[in-house]
Amino acid sequence: MTAVDVELQLAVEKLLARYVHVLDDDRLEEWPDFFVEEGRYRITTAENFERELPLSIIYADSRAMLRDRVSALRHANIYETQRYRHAVSSTLVERLDAHTARATSNFQVVRIMHTGESVLFASGRYLDRIRIDGRDPQFEEKTVVLDSRSIDTLLAIPI
């Protein structure tokens, strides 16, 4: 690994760390800023992904759509108080060109309900395309591939 590669690896891991802390700390208003203006975000299942079926559980193709998701969660949608705890690991980074990199990571999300119930809510992979020529790296595309086809109750907070 060259020094350049190490630097890129650290930059991507730091991006992912900041990303999950924002979600876990309920700072959802900061979440869209991890994406470029035309950034794409999608949650799907491994089954859909492998069968090349395009349906998503959440699908946005702009930062504006992500902001809409946040304001709906804050002002419109009803769900019981809950938090996530993300764990991200095994991040593989590949430089595509001077401007972009690709990263694949594993994640697990524990969901903690206000009742005290704590469960492994989701596991899967992040498939990310990341712009690396700006001040802070940002997601051009983030595809969240859930291992299971089944979601318990509802999926309100992004992953």
Partner 1 sequence: MSAVPESRVWPAEGLTRVPYWVYQDEGVYAREQERIYRGPTWNFLGLEAELPEAGDFKTTFVGDMPVVVTRDEKGAINCFENRCAHRGALLCLKDRGSAKEIACVYHNWTYDLRGNLTGVAFRHGIKGQGGMPEDAQPESQAPRKLRVTVFCGLVFATLSEATPPFERYVGAEVAAKIRRVMKAPVRVLGGYSQMLPSNWKLYFENVKDTYHASLLHLFFSTFRLNRLEQKGGVIVGGDGGSHVSFTMMNTDSSGDEYEKAGMRSVSGGYRLEAPQMLESVDEYGDGVTLQILTVFPGFVLQQIMNCLAVRQVLPKGIGRTELAWTAFGYAGDDQAMTERRLKQANLVGPSGYISLEDGAATGFVQRGVQGAASNASIVEMGGRSVESNESRVTETSVRGLWQQYRMHMGL
Helices (H), 32-134: 46-50, 63-75
| Residues in CB range of 32: below 8 A, 6 or more apart | 63, 66, 67, 70
Q: Which of 13, 36, 67, 112 binds partner 1 (CB under 8 A)?
A: 67
Q: Which run of H or E residues covers position 111?
A: strand 100-113
Least spacing, CB of residue 42 vs partner 1, in Å: 9
Cβ atoms of 121 and 147 closer than 8 Å: no
Least Å from the CB of residue 29 to partner 1: 13
Footprint on residues 89-118 left by partner 1 (CB under 8 A): none
Give the binding range for partner 1 (CB under 8 A) out of 23-31, 72-80, 93-101, 132-140. 72-80
Q: Can residue 154 be called a binding residue for partner 1 (CB under 8 A)?
A: yes
For 23, 65, 137, 142, the CA distances from 38, given in Å and listed in that order, are 20, 10, 14, 12
Query: Is residue 76 close enough to count as binding partner 1 by CB under 8 A?
Result: yes
The residue from 44, 91, 138, 143 that contacts partner 1 (CB under 8 A) is: 44
Residue 71 Ramachandran class (φ > 0 left, ψ -120 to 50 alpha, else beta): alpha
In 10 A of CB 9, how many CB atoms? 16
For partner 1, the binding residue among 10, 17, 64, 96 (CB under 8 A) is: 64
Answer for which of 5, 29, 77, 123 binds partner 1 (CB under 8 A) is: 77
Interface positions with partner 1 (CB under 8 A) = 43-45, 47-48, 51, 53-62, 64-65, 67-68, 71-72, 75-80, 149-156
